[in-house]
Amino acid sequence: MIDWLEKVYSATGDIAQLETAYDGWAEGYDESVSALGYTNPALVSALFARLMPDVSGPILDAGCGTGVIGEILSLAGYEFIDGIDLSGGMLKRAKARGVYRSLGRAVLGEPLEIETGTYAGVVSSGVFTVGHAPASAFNEIARILKPGGVFALSITDPAFEAGGFGDAMIELEQAGVWAPAATSGSYLPLPNAEPAHRHPGRVYVLRKQG
């Protein structure tokens, strides 16, 4: 059996390699992550809903994958959910759920073709991690949020340090771009994974100022 976690992490941020790996994983992704006890989508959705109870949105699911969060938020009543991802294979699975208003290929870390101040919320589960979306993408996320909009994302503790996500978050806070709105307790995103992939993490929620 292919060790997909190993495959996506061994891409070490090479976009073409990561895309190929996720395209290959797309069909069996939901089943694999269920077996690993994947908890990020539930935690990101719960904290997002606490801080953005207005369901009129719109919301962007950044790194939507097969659309697990889109389905949760749609069932919870959120009306307009868009998704972006670098993997065409994952986007195809997300489309099949029929819960997104629009879906498109985009690379977090590169400029996004989205107007400034478009979204009331951005959610991102399992995307800002080592070798995936970089901390530099926070600037674009902050730009596309409306003032008062919230960004809820999961980050594992090792990635928080090694990926520079903590520093990048604080930099934007000090620049008055956003303010911390909530942080979850510590949990295991993949409780049934091998020890090498069983790191604790948290969900962080930032609110755009202005």
Ligand X SMILES: C[S@@+](CC[C@H](N)C(=O)[O-])C[C@H]1O[C@@H](n2cnc3c(N)ncnc32)[C@H](O)[C@@H]1O
109 binds ligand X (CB under 6 A): yes
Structure tokens at 175: 């620049």
* Residue number with the smallest Cβ distance to ligand X: 65
22 binds ligand X (CB under 6 A): yes
Residue 103 Cβ vs ligand X, minimum distance, rounded to whole Å: 12
Options 43, 49, 59, 133; binder of ligand X; rule CB under 6 A: 133
Annotate each residue in 140-179 with x if it binds ligand X (CB under 6 A) or - if it does not, as one string: ----------------------------------------
Options 65, 121, 149, 163; binder of ligand X; rule CB under 6 A: 65
Sign of torsion over alpha carbons 81, 85, 89, 90: negative
Residue 64 DSSP label:
-
Burial 92-112 (b: 16+ CB within 10 A, else e): ebbbebebbeebeebbbbeeb
Sign of torsion over alpha carbons 6, 11, 12, 13: negative
Residue with tokens 């999961």: 154
126 binds ligand X (CB under 6 A): yes
User: Applying CB under 6 A, what is the total number of residues that bind ligand X?
Assistant: 21
Give CA–CA dist 7/128, Å, rounded. 17
Residue with tokens 């942080």: 183
Of 79-87, 167-175, 191-199, 202-210, the segment contacting ligand X by CB under 6 A is 79-87
Sites of contact with ligand X (CB under 6 A): 18, 22, 40-41, 63-65, 68-69, 85-87, 90, 107-109, 125-127, 132-133
